[in-house]
Structure 1
Amino acid sequence: MEIVVCIKQVPDTTEVKIDPVTNTLIRQGVPSIVNPFDKNAVEAALQLKEKHGGKVTVISMGPPQAKDALKECLAMGADAAVLISDRAFGGADTLATSYALAAAIRKLGKVDIIFCGKQAIDGDTGQVGSETAEHLGIAQVTYVSKMDVDSDTAKVEREHEEGYEIIEVKLPVLVSVIKSAEYEPRFPSVRGTMKANRAEIPVWTAADVQADEEKIGLKGSPTKVSKIFSPPRRTQGVVIQKDSAQDSVVELLQKLREAKIV
Protein backbone atom coordinates (compact mmCIF):
# COMPACT_ATOMS: atom_id res chain seq x y z
CA MET A 1 0.00 0.00 0.00
CA GLU A 2 1.38 3.38 -1.04
CA ILE A 3 0.55 6.12 1.46
CA VAL A 4 1.39 9.82 1.21
CA VAL A 5 1.09 12.38 4.01
CA CYS A 6 1.06 16.10 3.18
CA ILE A 7 2.56 18.14 6.02
CA LYS A 8 3.36 21.79 6.62
CA GLN A 9 5.96 23.51 8.75
CA VAL A 10 4.22 26.37 10.56
CA PRO A 11 5.29 29.07 13.02
CA ASP A 12 4.60 28.28 16.66
CA THR A 13 1.33 30.14 17.24
CA THR A 14 2.48 31.31 20.67
CA GLU A 15 5.19 33.34 18.92
CA VAL A 16 3.31 34.68 15.89
CA LYS A 17 3.91 38.30 14.91
CA ILE A 18 2.43 40.21 11.97
CA ASP A 19 4.08 42.75 9.69
CA PRO A 20 1.59 45.65 9.57
CA VAL A 21 2.97 46.89 6.24
CA THR A 22 3.03 43.68 4.17
CA ASN A 23 0.18 41.96 6.07
CA THR A 24 2.21 38.76 6.29
CA LEU A 25 3.47 36.64 9.17
CA ILE A 26 6.95 37.49 10.43
CA ARG A 27 8.74 34.14 10.30
CA GLN A 28 12.31 35.29 10.89
CA GLY A 29 13.40 34.40 14.41
CA VAL A 30 10.11 32.61 15.12
CA PRO A 31 10.37 28.91 16.07
CA SER A 32 8.73 26.52 13.61
CA ILE A 33 6.93 23.26 14.29
CA VAL A 34 5.15 20.52 12.36
CA ASN A 35 1.52 21.54 12.00
CA PRO A 36 -0.18 19.65 14.90
CA PHE A 37 -3.04 18.27 12.78
CA ASP A 38 -0.48 16.95 10.29
CA LYS A 39 1.20 14.96 13.05
CA ASN A 40 -2.15 13.25 13.65
CA ALA A 41 -2.22 12.49 9.92
CA VAL A 42 1.28 10.98 10.10
CA GLU A 43 0.19 8.80 13.02
CA ALA A 44 -2.86 7.61 11.06
CA ALA A 45 -0.64 6.68 8.12
CA LEU A 46 1.85 4.82 10.32
CA GLN A 47 -0.89 2.81 12.04
CA LEU A 48 -2.31 1.82 8.65
CA LYS A 49 1.13 0.74 7.42
CA GLU A 50 1.76 -1.30 10.57
CA LYS A 51 -1.54 -3.12 10.08
CA HIS A 52 -1.53 -3.66 6.33
CA GLY A 53 2.06 -3.07 5.23
CA GLY A 54 3.25 -0.62 2.62
CA LYS A 55 5.24 2.58 2.48
CA VAL A 56 4.64 6.03 4.00
CA THR A 57 6.05 9.06 2.20
CA VAL A 58 5.75 12.53 3.72
CA ILE A 59 5.74 15.53 1.41
CA SER A 60 5.82 19.25 2.06
CA MET A 61 6.00 22.49 0.10
CA GLY A 62 8.12 25.17 1.71
CA PRO A 63 11.54 26.78 2.14
CA PRO A 64 14.69 24.67 2.72
CA GLN A 65 14.23 24.72 6.52
CA ALA A 66 11.04 22.67 6.07
CA LYS A 67 13.40 19.69 5.88
CA ASP A 68 13.46 19.81 9.69
CA ALA A 69 9.73 19.12 9.79
CA LEU A 70 10.09 16.27 7.32
CA LYS A 71 12.90 14.76 9.37
CA GLU A 72 10.70 14.82 12.46
CA CYS A 73 8.15 12.76 10.54
CA LEU A 74 10.88 10.36 9.42
CA ALA A 75 11.90 9.99 13.06
CA MET A 76 8.30 9.05 13.90
CA GLY A 77 8.53 6.17 11.41
CA ALA A 78 7.82 7.46 7.90
CA ASP A 79 9.82 5.68 5.19
CA ALA A 80 10.63 8.55 2.83
CA ALA A 81 10.27 12.31 2.47
CA VAL A 82 10.21 14.85 -0.34
CA LEU A 83 10.46 18.64 -0.17
CA ILE A 84 8.91 20.78 -2.90
CA SER A 85 10.85 24.02 -2.86
CA ASP A 86 11.24 26.71 -5.49
CA ARG A 87 11.04 30.50 -5.49
CA ALA A 88 8.34 30.09 -8.13
CA PHE A 89 6.05 28.64 -5.45
CA GLY A 90 6.36 31.77 -3.28
CA GLY A 91 3.17 33.64 -2.38
CA ALA A 92 0.93 30.67 -3.15
CA ASP A 93 -2.61 30.63 -1.78
CA THR A 94 -4.43 27.36 -1.08
CA LEU A 95 -5.33 26.74 -4.73
CA ALA A 96 -1.75 27.19 -5.97
CA THR A 97 -0.39 25.17 -3.03
CA SER A 98 -2.75 22.26 -3.67
CA TYR A 99 -1.89 22.32 -7.37
CA ALA A 100 1.83 22.00 -6.57
CA LEU A 101 1.21 19.20 -4.07
CA ALA A 102 -0.94 17.33 -6.57
CA ALA A 103 1.78 17.65 -9.22
CA ALA A 104 4.35 16.22 -6.80
CA ILE A 105 2.07 13.36 -5.81
CA ARG A 106 1.62 12.46 -9.47
CA LYS A 107 5.41 12.34 -9.81
CA LEU A 108 5.53 9.82 -6.93
CA GLY A 109 3.44 7.42 -9.02
CA LYS A 110 0.65 5.14 -7.82
CA VAL A 111 -0.79 6.26 -4.48
CA ASP A 112 -3.57 4.51 -2.56
CA ILE A 113 -4.23 6.90 0.32
CA ILE A 114 -3.28 10.54 0.92
CA PHE A 115 -3.48 11.89 4.46
CA CYS A 116 -3.67 15.57 5.41
CA GLY A 117 -4.28 17.34 8.68
CA LYS A 118 -7.70 18.97 9.09
CA GLN A 119 -6.15 22.43 8.70
CA ALA A 120 -2.95 24.39 9.27
CA ILE A 121 -2.78 26.50 12.42
CA ASP A 122 -1.27 29.49 10.61
CA GLY A 123 -3.86 29.90 7.84
CA ASP A 124 -6.76 27.88 9.32
CA THR A 125 -8.47 27.56 5.93
CA GLY A 126 -8.83 23.77 5.85
CA GLN A 127 -8.90 23.94 2.03
CA VAL A 128 -5.63 22.44 0.79
CA GLY A 129 -6.58 18.79 1.31
CA SER A 130 -9.89 19.05 -0.52
CA GLU A 131 -8.38 21.06 -3.36
CA THR A 132 -5.54 18.56 -3.75
CA ALA A 133 -8.08 15.74 -4.13
CA GLU A 134 -9.91 17.79 -6.75
CA HIS A 135 -6.71 18.37 -8.73
CA LEU A 136 -6.00 14.63 -8.64
CA GLY A 137 -9.60 13.68 -9.48
CA ILE A 138 -9.96 11.32 -6.51
CA ALA A 139 -12.45 10.90 -3.67
CA GLN A 140 -12.04 12.76 -0.39
CA VAL A 141 -13.36 12.50 3.15
CA THR A 142 -12.92 15.33 5.68
CA TYR A 143 -12.88 15.45 9.50
CA VAL A 144 -11.78 11.83 9.84
CA SER A 145 -11.37 10.46 13.37
CA LYS A 146 -10.70 6.80 12.49
CA MET A 147 -10.34 4.61 9.40
CA ASP A 148 -9.36 1.18 8.13
CA VAL A 149 -8.91 -0.47 4.75
CA ASP A 150 -10.30 -3.72 3.37
CA SER A 151 -8.92 -4.62 -0.05
CA ASP A 152 -9.71 -1.61 -2.29
CA THR A 153 -12.19 0.05 0.08
CA ALA A 154 -11.63 2.42 2.99
CA LYS A 155 -14.11 2.49 5.87
CA VAL A 156 -13.98 5.91 7.48
CA GLU A 157 -15.44 7.38 10.66
CA ARG A 158 -16.16 11.06 10.08
CA GLU A 159 -16.95 13.60 12.77
CA HIS A 160 -19.65 16.23 12.29
CA GLU A 161 -21.67 18.62 14.45
CA GLU A 162 -24.19 16.02 15.62
CA GLY A 163 -21.92 13.02 16.08
CA TYR A 164 -20.24 10.63 13.66
CA GLU A 165 -21.00 8.98 10.36
CA ILE A 166 -19.47 5.91 8.73
CA ILE A 167 -18.49 6.22 5.07
CA GLU A 168 -17.16 3.59 2.70
CA VAL A 169 -15.13 4.84 -0.26
CA LYS A 170 -13.09 3.21 -3.00
CA LEU A 171 -9.35 3.80 -3.16
CA PRO A 172 -7.55 5.99 -4.03
CA VAL A 173 -8.83 8.51 -1.51
CA LEU A 174 -7.64 11.63 0.32
CA VAL A 175 -8.64 11.97 3.98
CA SER A 176 -8.13 14.93 6.29
CA VAL A 177 -7.61 13.94 9.91
CA ILE A 178 -8.78 15.65 13.09
CA LYS A 179 -7.15 15.44 16.50
CA SER A 180 -8.43 12.24 18.08
CA ALA A 181 -7.41 9.78 20.77
CA GLU A 182 -7.14 7.17 18.02
CA TYR A 183 -4.35 9.09 16.30
CA GLU A 184 -2.41 10.64 19.17
CA PRO A 185 1.04 11.26 17.63
CA ARG A 186 3.81 8.96 18.85
CA PHE A 187 7.14 10.27 20.09
CA PRO A 188 10.10 9.77 17.75
CA SER A 189 12.43 6.99 18.89
CA VAL A 190 16.14 7.57 19.48
CA ARG A 191 17.02 5.20 16.64
CA GLY A 192 14.44 6.87 14.39
CA THR A 193 15.83 10.31 15.17
CA MET A 194 19.40 9.24 14.42
CA LYS A 195 18.29 7.70 11.13
CA ALA A 196 16.27 10.80 10.21
CA ASN A 197 19.24 13.09 10.90
CA ARG A 198 21.30 11.13 8.38
CA ALA A 199 18.56 11.09 5.75
CA GLU A 200 19.08 12.96 2.47
CA ILE A 201 15.77 14.54 1.53
CA PRO A 202 15.30 15.19 -2.20
CA VAL A 203 14.17 18.68 -3.22
CA TRP A 204 11.84 18.98 -6.21
CA THR A 205 11.48 22.24 -8.09
CA ALA A 206 8.58 23.44 -10.22
CA ALA A 207 10.34 21.98 -13.27
CA ASP A 208 10.81 18.62 -11.54
CA VAL A 209 7.06 18.23 -10.94
CA GLN A 210 6.23 19.67 -14.38
CA ALA A 211 4.13 22.44 -12.86
CA ASP A 212 2.46 25.02 -15.06
CA GLU A 213 4.04 28.37 -14.10
CA GLU A 214 0.66 30.08 -14.51
CA LYS A 215 -0.83 27.88 -11.78
CA ILE A 216 1.78 28.24 -9.03
CA GLY A 217 2.94 31.00 -6.73
CA LEU A 218 1.39 34.45 -7.02
CA LYS A 219 0.40 33.91 -10.65
CA GLY A 220 -1.71 30.89 -9.75
CA SER A 221 -3.28 32.47 -6.65
CA PRO A 222 -6.71 34.03 -7.25
CA THR A 223 -6.99 35.15 -3.61
CA LYS A 224 -4.95 37.92 -2.02
CA VAL A 225 -4.69 39.00 1.64
CA SER A 226 -5.78 42.64 1.85
CA LYS A 227 -5.26 43.02 5.59
CA ILE A 228 -4.25 40.95 8.59
CA PHE A 229 -4.03 42.09 12.19
CA SER A 230 -3.98 40.91 15.78
CA PRO A 231 -7.17 41.58 17.77
CA PRO A 232 -6.78 44.15 20.56
CA ARG A 233 -5.99 42.77 23.97
CA ARG A 234 -8.92 42.58 26.34
CA THR A 235 -8.84 45.11 29.16
CA GLN A 236 -8.97 43.93 32.73
CA GLY A 237 -12.52 43.61 34.05
CA VAL A 238 -13.84 45.07 37.28
CA VAL A 239 -13.75 42.85 40.34
CA ILE A 240 -16.61 43.33 42.82
CA GLN A 241 -16.06 42.09 46.36
CA LYS A 242 -18.64 42.90 49.01
CA ASP A 243 -19.46 41.40 52.38
CA SER A 244 -22.61 39.74 51.06
CA ALA A 245 -23.99 38.50 47.76
CA GLN A 246 -26.80 41.04 47.99
CA ASP A 247 -24.35 43.94 48.30
CA SER A 248 -22.36 42.56 45.36
CA VAL A 249 -25.48 42.46 43.20
CA VAL A 250 -26.37 46.04 44.12
CA GLU A 251 -22.86 47.20 43.24
CA LEU A 252 -22.94 45.27 39.94
CA LEU A 253 -26.25 46.81 38.93
CA GLN A 254 -24.95 50.27 39.77
CA LYS A 255 -21.91 49.82 37.52
CA LEU A 256 -24.06 48.41 34.70
CA ARG A 257 -26.34 51.47 34.91
CA GLU A 258 -23.32 53.79 34.84
CA ALA A 259 -22.12 52.04 31.71
CA LYS A 260 -25.67 52.32 30.28
CA ILE A 261 -25.86 48.58 29.76
CA VAL A 262 -29.09 48.26 31.74
Structure 2
Amino acid sequence: MLDLTLTQYILIGLVFMWSGFVRSGLGFGGAVLALPFLLLIDDRPLVYLPLIAVHLLVFSAATVIIRHFKKNKIMMGNTANASEGNIDWNYLKFAFSIIIIPKLIGVFGLITLPSTVMSLIIFVIVCCYSLSYLFNKPLASHNRWLDILFLMLGGYISGTSLIGAPLIIAVIANHVNKYQLRDTLFVLWFALVSIKMSMFIYLGVDLHLIQHLWLLPCTLVGHCIGLHFHQRLLEGNQVVFYRVLGSVLLVISLIGIYQLSVSNALGA
Protein backbone atom coordinates (compact mmCIF):
# COMPACT_ATOMS: atom_id res chain seq x y z
CA MET A 1 0.00 0.00 0.00
CA LEU A 2 1.58 3.23 -1.14
CA ASP A 3 0.80 6.93 -0.88
CA LEU A 4 -1.80 6.55 1.88
CA THR A 5 -2.44 9.00 4.69
CA LEU A 6 -2.20 8.14 8.38
CA THR A 7 -5.99 8.27 8.61
CA GLN A 8 -6.29 5.71 5.80
CA TYR A 9 -3.84 3.38 7.53
CA ILE A 10 -5.81 3.62 10.79
CA LEU A 11 -9.08 2.92 8.97
CA ILE A 12 -7.55 -0.08 7.16
CA GLY A 13 -6.32 -1.47 10.49
CA LEU A 14 -9.83 -1.14 11.95
CA VAL A 15 -11.37 -2.87 8.92
CA PHE A 16 -8.94 -5.80 9.25
CA MET A 17 -9.83 -6.02 12.93
CA TRP A 18 -13.49 -6.18 11.84
CA SER A 19 -12.56 -8.85 9.28
CA GLY A 20 -10.98 -11.05 11.96
CA PHE A 21 -13.97 -10.57 14.23
CA VAL A 22 -16.45 -11.55 11.52
CA ARG A 23 -14.45 -14.57 10.35
CA SER A 24 -14.17 -16.14 13.80
CA GLY A 25 -17.56 -14.92 15.02
CA LEU A 26 -19.60 -16.14 12.04
CA GLY A 27 -17.32 -18.78 10.53
CA PHE A 28 -17.29 -16.93 7.19
CA GLY A 29 -17.49 -13.43 5.75
CA GLY A 30 -14.05 -12.07 6.61
CA ALA A 31 -13.68 -10.91 3.01
CA VAL A 32 -17.25 -10.20 1.91
CA LEU A 33 -17.91 -8.03 4.98
CA ALA A 34 -14.58 -6.19 4.82
CA LEU A 35 -13.93 -5.51 1.12
CA PRO A 36 -16.66 -2.83 0.72
CA PHE A 37 -15.08 -0.78 3.52
CA LEU A 38 -11.55 -1.30 2.18
CA LEU A 39 -12.53 -0.26 -1.34
CA LEU A 40 -14.03 2.96 0.00
CA ILE A 41 -10.67 3.75 1.63
CA ASP A 42 -8.57 2.85 -1.40
CA ASP A 43 -10.05 1.45 -4.61
CA ARG A 44 -7.46 -1.27 -5.41
CA PRO A 45 -8.81 -4.81 -4.91
CA LEU A 46 -5.49 -6.47 -5.80
CA VAL A 47 -3.85 -4.67 -2.86
CA TYR A 48 -6.24 -6.14 -0.32
CA LEU A 49 -7.04 -9.61 -1.65
CA PRO A 50 -3.55 -11.10 -1.05
CA LEU A 51 -3.57 -9.63 2.47
CA ILE A 52 -7.00 -11.07 3.25
CA ALA A 53 -5.95 -14.40 1.74
CA VAL A 54 -2.92 -14.72 4.02
CA HIS A 55 -4.99 -13.85 7.07
CA LEU A 56 -7.59 -16.44 6.13
CA LEU A 57 -4.88 -19.10 5.77
CA VAL A 58 -3.34 -18.26 9.14
CA PHE A 59 -6.48 -17.95 11.23
CA SER A 60 -8.56 -20.72 9.65
CA ALA A 61 -5.69 -23.19 10.11
CA ALA A 62 -5.09 -22.01 13.69
CA THR A 63 -8.79 -22.27 14.60
CA VAL A 64 -9.17 -25.80 13.21
CA ILE A 65 -5.97 -27.06 14.85
CA ILE A 66 -6.77 -25.55 18.25
CA ARG A 67 -10.34 -26.88 18.19
CA HIS A 68 -9.05 -30.31 17.13
CA PHE A 69 -6.74 -30.57 20.13
CA LYS A 70 -9.38 -29.18 22.48
CA LYS A 71 -11.94 -31.70 21.28
CA ASN A 72 -9.47 -34.56 21.61
CA LYS A 73 -8.76 -33.48 25.17
CA ILE A 74 -12.46 -33.28 26.02
CA MET A 75 -13.25 -36.62 24.38
CA MET A 76 -10.33 -38.42 26.02
CA GLY A 77 -11.84 -41.48 27.61
CA ASN A 78 -15.17 -40.94 25.83
CA THR A 79 -14.96 -43.47 23.00
CA ALA A 80 -18.65 -43.07 22.10
CA ASN A 81 -18.02 -39.77 20.31
CA ALA A 82 -14.40 -40.22 19.34
CA SER A 83 -15.11 -41.25 15.78
CA GLU A 84 -17.22 -38.23 14.74
CA GLY A 85 -14.51 -35.64 14.18
CA ASN A 86 -14.88 -31.94 13.47
CA ILE A 87 -14.85 -32.17 9.66
CA ASP A 88 -17.18 -33.85 7.17
CA TRP A 89 -14.50 -35.07 4.78
CA ASN A 90 -16.91 -36.85 2.41
CA TYR A 91 -19.00 -33.80 1.58
CA LEU A 92 -15.91 -31.60 1.63
CA LYS A 93 -14.37 -33.69 -1.17
CA PHE A 94 -17.60 -33.54 -3.20
CA ALA A 95 -17.93 -29.76 -2.84
CA PHE A 96 -14.28 -29.17 -3.68
CA SER A 97 -14.54 -31.25 -6.86
CA ILE A 98 -17.39 -29.01 -8.07
CA ILE A 99 -15.80 -25.73 -7.02
CA ILE A 100 -12.22 -26.16 -8.24
CA ILE A 101 -12.62 -25.46 -11.99
CA PRO A 102 -14.82 -22.33 -11.62
CA LYS A 103 -12.40 -21.20 -8.91
CA LEU A 104 -9.45 -21.30 -11.32
CA ILE A 105 -11.46 -19.50 -14.01
CA GLY A 106 -12.30 -16.78 -11.49
CA VAL A 107 -8.67 -16.34 -10.48
CA PHE A 108 -7.65 -15.62 -14.06
CA GLY A 109 -10.63 -13.28 -14.44
CA LEU A 110 -9.38 -11.25 -11.50
CA ILE A 111 -5.98 -10.75 -13.04
CA THR A 112 -7.31 -9.60 -16.43
CA LEU A 113 -10.21 -7.32 -15.41
CA PRO A 114 -9.58 -3.63 -14.56
CA SER A 115 -9.76 -2.74 -10.85
CA THR A 116 -12.81 -0.48 -11.38
CA VAL A 117 -14.73 -3.34 -13.01
CA MET A 118 -13.78 -5.71 -10.18
CA SER A 119 -14.81 -3.13 -7.58
CA LEU A 120 -18.20 -2.72 -9.25
CA ILE A 121 -18.71 -6.51 -9.35
CA ILE A 122 -17.79 -6.76 -5.67
CA PHE A 123 -20.18 -3.98 -4.62
CA VAL A 124 -23.07 -5.47 -6.64
CA ILE A 125 -22.50 -8.94 -5.14
CA VAL A 126 -22.34 -7.51 -1.63
CA CYS A 127 -25.60 -5.60 -2.31
CA CYS A 128 -27.30 -8.91 -3.07
CA TYR A 129 -25.90 -10.50 0.07
CA SER A 130 -26.93 -7.49 2.20
CA LEU A 131 -30.53 -7.68 0.94
CA SER A 132 -30.70 -11.37 1.87
CA TYR A 133 -29.55 -10.47 5.40
CA LEU A 134 -31.82 -7.42 5.64
CA PHE A 135 -35.01 -9.29 4.72
CA ASN A 136 -34.04 -12.45 6.60
CA LYS A 137 -34.07 -14.46 3.38
CA PRO A 138 -30.70 -16.21 3.43
CA LEU A 139 -29.61 -17.97 0.29
CA ALA A 140 -30.56 -21.64 0.45
CA SER A 141 -30.56 -24.65 -1.84
CA HIS A 142 -32.55 -27.88 -1.56
CA ASN A 143 -32.06 -29.27 -5.07
CA ARG A 144 -29.03 -31.25 -6.27
CA TRP A 145 -28.64 -29.30 -9.53
CA LEU A 146 -29.17 -26.01 -7.75
CA ASP A 147 -26.56 -27.14 -5.22
CA ILE A 148 -24.08 -27.69 -8.04
CA LEU A 149 -24.95 -24.32 -9.61
CA PHE A 150 -24.47 -22.49 -6.30
CA LEU A 151 -21.15 -24.25 -5.68
CA MET A 152 -19.89 -23.41 -9.17
CA LEU A 153 -21.00 -19.78 -8.94
CA GLY A 154 -19.59 -19.48 -5.43
CA GLY A 155 -16.30 -20.95 -6.64
CA TYR A 156 -16.06 -18.46 -9.49
CA ILE A 157 -16.86 -15.49 -7.26
CA SER A 158 -14.37 -16.80 -4.70
CA GLY A 159 -11.78 -16.91 -7.46
CA THR A 160 -12.41 -13.34 -8.52
CA SER A 161 -12.74 -11.67 -5.14
CA LEU A 162 -12.81 -14.13 -2.20
CA ILE A 163 -16.47 -13.29 -1.47
CA GLY A 164 -18.23 -16.45 -2.69
CA ALA A 165 -18.71 -17.83 0.82
CA PRO A 166 -22.49 -17.14 1.22
CA LEU A 167 -23.33 -19.08 -1.95
CA ILE A 168 -21.14 -22.01 -0.91
CA ILE A 169 -22.53 -22.01 2.62
CA ALA A 170 -26.08 -22.02 1.24
CA VAL A 171 -25.31 -25.51 -0.04
CA ILE A 172 -22.96 -26.98 2.55
CA ALA A 173 -25.09 -25.93 5.53
CA ASN A 174 -27.87 -28.22 4.23
CA HIS A 175 -25.62 -31.28 4.04
CA VAL A 176 -23.17 -31.01 6.94
CA ASN A 177 -23.94 -31.51 10.62
CA LYS A 178 -23.98 -28.15 12.40
CA TYR A 179 -21.30 -29.34 14.82
CA GLN A 180 -18.99 -30.05 11.88
CA LEU A 181 -19.98 -27.09 9.68
CA ARG A 182 -17.57 -24.45 10.93
CA ASP A 183 -14.42 -26.55 10.74
CA THR A 184 -15.49 -28.08 7.42
CA LEU A 185 -15.84 -24.57 5.98
CA PHE A 186 -12.49 -23.48 7.38
CA VAL A 187 -10.73 -26.43 5.71
CA LEU A 188 -12.47 -25.60 2.42
CA TRP A 189 -11.49 -21.91 2.67
CA PHE A 190 -7.90 -22.95 3.41
CA ALA A 191 -7.74 -25.15 0.30
CA LEU A 192 -9.36 -22.58 -1.99
CA VAL A 193 -7.26 -19.68 -0.76
CA SER A 194 -4.07 -21.75 -1.05
CA ILE A 195 -4.84 -22.14 -4.76
CA LYS A 196 -5.47 -18.42 -5.12
CA MET A 197 -2.24 -17.53 -3.33
CA SER A 198 -0.31 -19.93 -5.57
CA MET A 199 -1.74 -18.19 -8.63
CA PHE A 200 -0.86 -14.77 -7.19
CA ILE A 201 2.73 -15.88 -6.69
CA TYR A 202 2.95 -17.49 -10.14
CA LEU A 203 1.59 -14.37 -11.86
CA GLY A 204 3.86 -12.05 -9.92
CA VAL A 205 1.17 -10.20 -7.96
CA ASP A 206 2.61 -8.06 -5.18
CA LEU A 207 1.64 -9.78 -1.89
CA HIS A 208 2.55 -6.73 0.27
CA LEU A 209 4.06 -9.07 2.88
CA ILE A 210 5.59 -6.23 4.91
CA GLN A 211 2.07 -5.00 5.73
CA HIS A 212 1.43 -8.14 7.79
CA LEU A 213 3.72 -6.81 10.51
CA TRP A 214 0.92 -4.49 11.60
CA LEU A 215 -2.18 -5.97 9.98
CA LEU A 216 -1.87 -9.47 11.49
CA PRO A 217 -1.99 -8.07 15.07
CA CYS A 218 -5.05 -6.01 14.11
CA THR A 219 -6.77 -9.09 12.72
CA LEU A 220 -5.74 -11.14 15.76
CA VAL A 221 -7.49 -8.73 18.11
CA GLY A 222 -10.70 -9.01 16.09
CA HIS A 223 -10.29 -12.78 15.84
CA CYS A 224 -10.05 -13.21 19.61
CA ILE A 225 -13.10 -11.01 20.20
CA GLY A 226 -15.00 -12.99 17.56
CA LEU A 227 -14.22 -16.30 19.27
CA HIS A 228 -15.92 -15.06 22.44
CA PHE A 229 -18.78 -13.59 20.42
CA HIS A 230 -19.48 -16.80 18.49
CA GLN A 231 -21.21 -18.66 21.30
CA ARG A 232 -23.29 -15.65 22.29
CA LEU A 233 -24.41 -15.23 18.70
CA LEU A 234 -25.62 -18.82 18.57
CA GLU A 235 -27.61 -18.31 21.76
CA GLY A 236 -28.94 -14.82 20.97
CA ASN A 237 -31.24 -13.19 18.41
CA GLN A 238 -29.42 -13.70 15.13
CA VAL A 239 -32.16 -12.10 12.99
CA VAL A 240 -31.60 -8.63 14.51
CA PHE A 241 -27.84 -8.93 14.13
CA TYR A 242 -28.01 -9.91 10.45
CA ARG A 243 -30.54 -7.17 9.65
CA VAL A 244 -28.30 -4.50 11.14
CA LEU A 245 -25.34 -6.00 9.30
CA GLY A 246 -27.29 -6.10 6.04
CA SER A 247 -28.34 -2.45 6.41
CA VAL A 248 -24.76 -1.30 6.93
CA LEU A 249 -23.45 -3.35 3.99
CA LEU A 250 -26.20 -2.07 1.68
CA VAL A 251 -25.42 1.56 2.49
CA ILE A 252 -21.67 1.04 2.06
CA SER A 253 -22.11 -0.82 -1.24
CA LEU A 254 -24.46 1.84 -2.67
CA ILE A 255 -21.98 4.56 -1.70
CA GLY A 256 -19.22 2.57 -3.40
CA ILE A 257 -21.25 2.15 -6.60
CA TYR A 258 -22.07 5.86 -6.58
CA GLN A 259 -18.41 6.81 -6.15
CA LEU A 260 -17.39 4.52 -9.00
CA SER A 261 -20.05 6.00 -11.29
CA VAL A 262 -18.97 9.55 -10.43
CA SER A 263 -15.26 8.81 -10.95
CA ASN A 264 -15.99 7.13 -14.28
CA ALA A 265 -18.16 10.05 -15.38
CA LEU A 266 -15.40 12.55 -14.48
CA GLY A 267 -12.80 10.44 -16.26
CA ALA A 268 -14.90 10.12 -19.42
TM-score class normalised by the smaller sequence = under 0.3
| Higher relative contact order (Cα pairs below 8 Å, separated by 6+ residues) | 2
Greater share of residues in helix: 2
Q: Which has the larger radius of gyration?
A: 1
Please, what TM-score do these two structures have when normalized by structure 1?
0.26
Greater share of residues in strand: 1
Please, what TM-score do these two structures have when normalized by structure 2?
0.25
